[in-house]
Structure 1
Amino acid sequence: IKNSLKTNCLSKQLNLVFKGSSYLFIAHKMSPSAGKTKELDSKYDEVVVKFVSDVRSGKLQGSYNTAVSTVNLLEQLIGDCQNATAFELCGAVRAVGNRMCRALPQELVAANMVRRVLRAIRDEHSSHANQTGDSLGESLQRLVLAAPARRATLGERADLRGPLRDHIAELRAELESSKSSICSQAREHVHADELLLTYGASGLVEKFLRNAAQRRYRLILAEGSDVAQSHAMASRLASSGVAVTVVDNASVCAVMPRVNKVLVSVRTVLPGGAALGAAGLHALTAAARYYSVPVVVLAPLYKLSPLHQHHCNWLSTPHTAVPYGALAVSEAHVVAPLYDFVPPDHITLFVTNLGGSSPSYIYRLLSELYDSNDHQL
């Protein structure tokens, strides 16, 4: 009996060992996104810490500034990686992205820029492999069947720093022209004698409305969480010749039947056509859907994220919803969401750098911008 028990235990241990070795063999063939995250060098560890501190302290504000700073950091990292393979470059870039995501989970734009650079590395490696003739003469069936093994070719050595600098320069040019590309479409979406409704203060929406000021439309601006910035934006638009009326955010349902179009900006665009916007935006879009008012969302391409809703449940400090001096503070449990989730059926059209896109087309844009292996950093 003892011998049989020992034999059974030994066989179970051998099975575990064989399973572990097979898993290790599969992991060796998987893409860099499936492996362990590479540890950062002390130099770039300090650079990432400074980046995080600048964002948290308010020195670096806005999605555009965050995206540009992330691209500059990654360009410096790639330039210092001498004689690095594509696999090593992906590991270094993913290490930076993983550290940013853990320290700043709400800054999805930084993670999006990391994914764009990872996609550039993969594309450059594929083009280099095609130029060397590694994939010539192969049928489509062989390429599909050999996809897992083909990922291991990221370990081949090729100096990709020059082509990657060109990719990063194109990405930086895209970031710089994103706002102007969207605002150039203002006259296509804003018509004369229309009554528009927007929510809160947004630099992109303000420039978009300024470009359409010749249409002689009317605007209702619902106050956002920062009332002072909302009034300042209304004052600047009024000085540009726009007829602006500022209302409380609780009055959107009362004025919605008279509105022709809702025009807003969001924090992030999610897969499936959903979006994350400022707190209170969901109530506005729900009222617009009830009264069949079209909702147009301005969203540059760098705001498109492959993450889903369950990754984005963040809370703000309670004083943003209830002041500390209020009488109800001692008796109430305050939950202040940082963003509102806007479902895709509340949105009519996304205006991106490439033009108008319906919510059902966002998945196609995501597949063009990011590689599926890099969705999870």
Structure 2
Amino acid sequence: MSAITPEIQSLLDPVVASLKRHQVNGDKEMALSIAQLLMKVISAARWTNTYELIDLMRQIGTVIHRAYPRKVIPGNIVRRVLAIIRDEIETTDENNVPMMSSMFSLLSTSNKQDLQDQKNLPQSKKQTSDMRSIIIQGIRDLVDEISNVNEGLETMSVDLIHDNEVLLTPTPTSDTVLHFLLKARTKRKFTVLVTENFPNDLKQAQVFARKLAEHKIETILIPDSHTYAVMSRVGKVIIGTNAVFANGGCLSSSGVASVVECAKEHRTPVFAVAGLYKLSPLYPFTRNDLIEVGNSGRVLSHDDSELVENVEVVTNPLEDYIPPEHIDIFITNIGGFAPSFIYRIVLDNYKIEDNKLDT
């Protein structure tokens, strides 16, 4: 097993520190910082066999996950890079093994031993150099995908939003939803209802509404309590996501769960927008462990001493888990998919053996 060298540790430490201190602003910035870190690591790493590089990547992934365990995006990027490496190994092996030999190997009982022999087989300097270049190019493509994620999503907005429609979004912190609506405005005229998301996102909701209004979109900022009253007039609910799981469920801003439940009662379609990098191969078995908790003083001010003394626990969850049955379609930068189809997209972008990084 390849260990993390001091040189690689020096690259890793600043990123780990920023994750621990929650100093990375936004999901896209977080994804890009991890991808760029892994590119630097692969440039600096030394290995005699590609499987040693896989071991190193898994170790780095474990360290990054422990720095911010409630965020799945850093782990997603590590697993995407691992998938790039494994795909290249498979391609190389297929090119090197004759077809007849590979057919017989499918029936051979010594496959595991052959794989172990491959892992112990050293590579030439040219093989290592070629592999390094291909993997770095794969990560560059991943960086381009993340950087241009809004452009991929925007192309679908005009087809999904109709003229004179009333839309509601309970995620005013989502930059992706903002770009999605602004793009639709180029060809459609519609009204957007924005919930305040009290107590955590009130200021962001005001900024979000102002940006929409500046682009000639009729925008109304409503209290969270008005959601049920206006839902009968709403044509679509559009939500941003923090993470999308293999079962088709997702994490979104606190308060979204009640909004989509209300939408289900009124049979109002719910569209969730998410970049491909937010899709995770994990399943939300321990949902409470995934939800981040914020400052409880925003829910109940510490100045209200009489109230505080009479309340045992005050919590301020920053996220909600949205079950797949409350979402009609996920809009991603590679197309729109039903929640039940998300697992197929996950299988196309991740390898099952990397679902658990610390084993």
On whether the aligned pair clears a TM of 0.5, the verdict is yes
Deviation at 1:134, TM superposition (A): 6.0
On the 8 A contact 2:281/2:355 being kept in 1, the answer is: yes
Q: Which runs of 5+ in 1 are unaligned?
A: 1-36
From 195, 199, 204, the counterpart of 2:166:
195
The answer to whether residue 295 in structure 2 is matched with residue 331 in structure 1 is no
Compute the displacement of 1:283 (Å): 0.3
1:142 equivalenced with 2:106 (yes/no):
yes
The answer as to 2:19 corresponding to 1:55 is: yes
Deviates more, 1:173-182 or 1:154-163: 154-163
**Selected match of 1:346 from 314, 321, 326:** 326
Structure 1: distance between partners of 2:339 and 2:104: 32
1:300-315 counterparts in 2 under 5 A? 300-312=275-287, 313=289, 314-315=291-292
Selected match of 1:298 from 252, 268, 273: 273
State the secondary structure of the residue aligned to 2:102: coil
Whether contact under 8 Å (2:330, 2:338) holds in the other structure is yes
Structure 2 vs 1, CA of residues 288 and 146 (structure 1 numbering), >3 Å: closer, same or farther? farther
Q: Distance in 1 between matches of 2:299 and 2:107?
A: 55
Q: Percent identity?
A: 26
AA partner of residue 96 (structure 2): T
Whether 1:268 and 2:243 are equivalent positions in the alignment is yes
Matched, 1:206 2:185: no
Residue 253 in structure 1 maps to residue 232 in structure 2:
no
Give the number of aligned pairs: 341
**CA–CA distance in structure 1, aligned partners of residues 212 and 46 of structure 2:** 51
Q: How does 1:18-167 map to 2 (within 5 A)?
A: 39-133=3-97, 136-139=100-103, 142=106, 148-149=112-113, 151-152=115-116, 153-156=118-121, 157=123, 158-159=127-128, 160-167=131-138
**Structure 2 counterpart of 1:63, which letter?**
D
Residue 103 of structure 1 and its aligned partner are, at CA, apart by: 1.5
The superposition leaves residues 163-220 of structure 1 with CA deviations (integer Å, 9 ceiling, x where unpaired) of 1111111111111221111012110111101110001322111111111113111111
Q: Which residue of 2 aligns with 1:172?
A: 143
Q: How many angstroms apart in 2 are the aligned matches of 1:353 and 1:145? A: 42
Q: Return structure 1 stretches of 4+ with deviation > 4 angstroms.
A: 143-147
- CA-CA distance at 1:142 after TM superposition: 1.5
Letter in 1 for 2:308: V
Q: 1:246-296 CA deviation, whole Å, 9 max, x = no partner?
A: 101121111111111001111000111100111111001100111100000
Partner of 1:321: 299
- TM-score calculated relative to the size of structure 1: 0.85
Q: How far apart, in 1, do the equivalents of 2:104 and 2:26 lie?
A: 44
Q: Is the 8 A contact 1:67 1:302 kept in 2?
A: yes
1:217 aligned onto 2:178: no
Larger Rg: 1
Q: 1:90 touches 1:118 (CA, 8 Å); kept in 2?
A: yes
Larger mean Cα displacement after TM superposition, 280-289 or 323-332: 323-332
Provide closer, same or farther for how the CA distance between residues 144 and 364 of structure 1 changes in structure 2, counting only shifts above 3 A: farther
The answer on whether the counterparts of 2:171 and 2:240 sit within 8 Å (CA) in structure 1 is: no
CA RMSD of aligned residues (A): 2.0
How far is the alpha carbon of 1:83 from its aligned partner? Answer: 4.1
The DSSP-based 3-state class of the residue aligned with 2:277 is: helix
The 1:355–1:150 alpha-carbon spacing in structure 2 relative to 1, beyond 3 Å, is farther
Aligned partners of 1:148 and 1:303: how far apart in 2?
A: 33
Kept in 1, the 8 Å contact 2:176–2:274? The answer is: no
Shift of 1:58: 4.6
Structure 2 residue 350 is matched with structure 1 residue 367 = no
Change (3 A) 1:143 1:134: farther
Stretch of structure 1 that moved more, 130-139 or 222-231: 130-139
